[in-house]
Amino acid sequence: MNILKNDRFSLLLNFIVGFFFLAVLGFKGGHNISPILLMVIGLGYLIYFLTRKQKWQLDQDEKRLMISYAFYFAVFVLSLIFNGGKMKELDNPSRVILLLPLLLLFIRYPIRFNTLAYAVPLGGIVAGLVAIYDRFYLHAGAAFSPRTMHIQGGDIAMSLGMFSLLIGFYFATKKHYKSTALCVFGTLSGITGSLLSTARGGWIGLPIILAIILFLYRKQLSKTFFLSISGVLIAALVIAVSLPETKVMKRIQTANNEITAYFEKNNGGTSVGARFDMWKSALLMAKEKPLLGWGQQGAVEQHKKHAEQKLISKYAAIFDHAHNQYIDDLAKRGVIGLLALLGVLLIPLRYFIRSLKTVSLETRTLAGLGIVHIVSVMCYCVSQGFFTHNSGNIFYFFLTLLFFAMVKSTQKIPSEH
């Protein structure tokens, strides 16, 4: 019997997808296992699909998504050709292309909604437990730092927490209160993981994401429920912020001091001050080469040159990205690079927003997950080069494709022609 016609194949795909959420922060390299395995399966399925001379009928939304991904990768190739550099600069963006066959795979073999609904909060709980283990047993300076870049880990943990909250509202609407409680625990655990990571970038977008989630479910749930959930979250956040072990208040106070020091004394030798200097340097580069930028190596050399000219601090010059994805892409790949970045963010975001009009609660929840995912990453990109890390590339592009395909599978949205 052909395995592709067997339910076991679908079960395997669901298991691999569910495992992603449990493994993404569970251990070193955990974010790679499921996506790489699925890339291999997806490529194999695409070859199988084409050898059977079947046609992949793409609607307008699927075409837009694929074009945005292809254009994003093409800009990196274009920059390499015109600005020079090393082939390894294509490693991260190449994964964007390798993930595309998953769109076909997930539409033909849909991932079950319940796989996501339970794997996400369990992933949030794993993130929280790992963070507590890192900080209080290993005594690491920041949660997740023993196994990944702690800022990336903190941002991903926050996303898992917010996904859990959204799914919790779905379960509350269905009056599945045990599952709702699991999601609330996943929410608090994910937020705890972010707080213990000391990564401030993930905290900035928290009010925005909470507002989006509350807005999405404003008609489905009672005011009493909203007040109860809000009370639990506020109480948990106040307790977490108050604990000296989380270093939250210390990090906020440090940020305030560093901002004051930068604008009053031009001190670019601090974490925040260096970011301001990196942004200044990147914008200066963009003014000189606005179309295609300087390329990766050229930008690094310009950072050092600006430090020698005392335009920025020497501390700021040691970093190879600007700690702001938008400005970094503008400096390295010019206006074309910035447009490519905005394309992979805004094109799927537009589709998810349109998908909220459907009657199906499951589809609206999946669309909500897509919106929360993209807006969260857009917030992370303000103070971090989220896509300069493999973990950020995999996390963003894999989940965007997953949510997109799941929305398509649950209900076809009329395409605009």
Give dist(CA 132, CA 75) in Å, integer: 40
Under DSSP, the state recorded for 134 is I
Q: What confidence score (pLDDT) does residue 5 get? A: 60
Q: 109 pLDDT exceeds 50?
A: yes
Q: 32 pLDDT exceeds 70?
A: yes
pLDDT digits (tens, 9 = 90+) for 43-71: 999 998 888 877 778 899 999 999 999 99
| CB contact at 8 A, 349 and 375 | yes
pLDDT digits (tens, 9 = 90+) for 82-96: 998 888 889 999 999
Q: What confidence score (pLDDT) does residue 31 get? A: 95
Nearest residue to 417 (alpha-carbon basis) of 35, 59, 57:
59
Nearest residue to 62 (alpha-carbon basis) of 22, 93, 106, 28:
106
50-to-45, 127, 295, 329 alpha-carbon distances in Å: 9, 40, 36, 35
| CB contact at 8 A, 80 and 87 | yes
The model's pTM: 0.92
Give dist(CA 114, CA 112) in Å, integer: 5
Q: What is the rounded average pLDDT of the residues 293-316?
A: 88
Q: What is the rounded average pLDDT of the residues 210-237?
A: 78
Please provide the average confidence, as pLDDT, over all residues in the chain: 89
Q: Residue 201 CB: number of other CB atoms within 10 A?
A: 22
| CB contact at 8 A, 180 and 221 | no
Under DSSP, the state recorded for 168 is H
Give dist(CA 308, CA 299) in Å, integer: 14
| CB contact at 8 A, 352 and 403 | yes
Domain residue spans in the chain? 3-246+335-410, 248-323
Give dist(CA 257, CA 30) in Å, integer: 36
Q: 25 pLDDT exceeds 90?
A: yes
Give dist(CA 30, CA 127) in Å, integer: 12
Q: What are phi and psi of 85, to 5 degrees?
A: 140, -165
Q: What confidence score (pLDDT) does residue 246 get? A: 60
Q: What confidence score (pLDDT) does residue 284 get? A: 92
Residue with tokens 């194999």: 44
pLDDT digits (tens, 9 = 90+) for 157-178: 999 999 999 999 999 999 999 9
SS3 328: helix
Count Cβ neighbours within 10 Å for each residue of 273-307 and write b for 16 or more, e otherwise: bbbbbbbbbbebbbeebeebbbbbebbbebbeebb
- Kindly give, in sequence order, each residue whose CB lies less than 8 Å from that of residue 373, ignoring residues fewer than 6 positions away: 159, 163, 396, 399, 400, 403
| CB contact at 8 A, 301 and 312 | no
Per 3-state DSSP, the chain is made up of helix, strand and coil in percentages (nearest 5) of 80, 0, 20
Give dist(CA 29, CA 147) in Å, integer: 7
Nearest residue to 368 (alpha-carbon basis) of 31, 113, 14:
113
Q: What is the rounded average pLDDT of the residues 320-349?
A: 94
Give dist(CA 188, CA 242) in Å, integer: 15
Q: What confidence score (pLDDT) does residue 247 get? A: 64
Pick the residue with more confidence: 314 or 254? 314
Give dist(CA 181, CA 224) in Å, integer: 16
Give dist(CA 300, CA 102) in Å, integer: 35
23-to-141, 142, 232, 266 alpha-carbon distances in Å: 22, 19, 27, 42
Q: 417 pLDDT exceeds 80?
A: no
